[in-house]
Amino acid sequence: MKKKVILITGTSSGFGWLAANSCAAAGHKVYATMRDTKGRNADKANILAQHENIEILDVDVTDAKTVNDAITTIIDKEGRLDVVVNNAGIYAVGIAETFTEEDVTNIMDVDVIGTWRTIRAALPQMRKQGDGLIINISSVAGRFSFPFQTIYNGAKFAVEGLTEGLHYEVRQLGVDVVMIQPGAFPTDVWGKIMAGSDNSVVTGYGDLANVPEQIGTSISQMFAAMKPNPQLVATSILDLIDTPKGKRPLRTVVDPVTGNFSETANQQVKMQYDNFLTAFGMQGMLS
């Protein structure tokens, strides 16, 4: 196995934490990024830094300088950057109308623009190398827009659009851009849910206002019954890293509960997408 130099965003918890540990354990050099490494995330940063294959970088994906500085640091130290895993994100639930313009801007700045900042900072080096892999963590909510997480769904739909278009743009330059679509897993994200800040509209929804809480209860029951393991996502990241260049699927569903729905939708969209590119004379980008 060739040792890869890997940048992972959002490693203080959840999929990012598991991915950092899994990639390092597999022998890769991991640059694990998170915010506030000297403050609220200091303990997490110190734990990860104990691994000989992990270095910590303080990065806020909403701050272009910290993103660019991190990429520069890695290239200066390693001479290359092989893999970027865009994992940092905000999960949001609630009545869509309660989310103000500022709320939506904050979510999009992390989930969408933050992903794009990191991609754009990494691409010049990957193009120079003629080799690279970018893995964006999307969601099954990037394929189906579930009620009462509408704003989050919109962000993940945007990640899907960025990933799908870029997948075909840069693959002939030696860079693979792909995504993972996780389902619901019991991670720390459930303790960091963002809600809309304008509650003045809630009473106008009547009994519907209780639905988000009911959904949360149902998901908790599902976790207790089925125990989906979030390590599956980290393992899928490793599998994509190990897959030969040009052979990596655009979408990888990781959802042991309802993944068959997403798989079927992905297959149908891929078929029509191929027809679409062919109709516009771009069939050469399909291989």
For residue 39, what is the domain's CATH number? 3.40.50.720
Number of domains in the chain: 1
pTM for this predicted structure: 0.95
Q: Is residue 174 one of the residues assigned to a domain?
A: yes
Q: What rounded mean pLDDT belongs to the chain?
A: 95
125 residue type, one letter: Q
Catalytic site residue from 4, 29, 44, 152? 152
Average pLDDT over residues 196-203: 96
Number of residues that make up the chain: 287
Residue 230 lies in a domain: yes
Q: Is 281 part of a structural domain of the chain? A: no
Please name every residue paired with 137 in a beta bridge, in sequence order, or none if there are none.
Answer: 180
Catalytic annotation, pick one of 138, 139, 236, 262: 138
Catalytic residue among 91, 156, 236, 262: 156
How many angstroms separate the CA atoms of 138 and 129, rounded?
26
Domain containing 213 equals: 5-259
- Residue 37 amino acid letter: T
DSSP string, 164-187: HHHHHHHGGGTEEEEEEEE----S
Banded pLDDT at 188 (limits 50, 70, 90): confident
CB atoms within 10 A of CB 242: 12
What's the confidence (pLDDT) of residue 153?
97
Q: What is the pLDDT of residues 114-167, one digit of tens each?
A: 999 999 999 999 999 999 999 999 999 999 999 999 999 999 999 999 999 999
% of the chain with per-residue pLDDT over 90: 86
Residue keyed to tokens 């030696």 = 174
Angle between helices 14-25 and 42-49 in degrees, nearest 10:
20
82 in any annotated domain: yes
Q: How many C-alpha atoms does 157 have within 13 Å on its Cβ side?
A: 10
| DSSP-assigned beta bridge partners for residue 263 | none
Average pLDDT estimate for 5-22:
97
Active site residue 218: no
In a domain, 24, yes or no: yes
Amino acid 11: pLDDT: 98
Catalytic hit among 4, 12, 91, 262:
12
Structure tokens, 269: 């969209």
Q: Give the start-end residues of each E strand in the chain.
A: 5-8, 29-34, 54-58, 83-86, 132-137, 175-182, 251-254
283 lies in a domain?
no
Tell me the pLDDT band of 1, cut-offs 50, 70 and 90.
low
Contact 54, 20 (CB under 8 A): yes
Q: Is 265 inside any structural domain?
A: no
pLDDT at residue 259, as a whole number: 76
pLDDT band at 215, cuts 50/70/90? confident
Give yes or no for a contact between 191 and 12, defined as CB atoms under 8 angstroms apart: no
15 by DSSP, 3-state: which? helix
> For the residues of 59-109, what is the DSSP string, one character each?
--TT-HHHHHHHHHHHHHHHS---EEEE-----B-S-GGG--HHHHHHHHI
- Is residue 58 assigned to a domain? yes
Beta carbons of 64 and 115 less than 8 angstroms apart: no
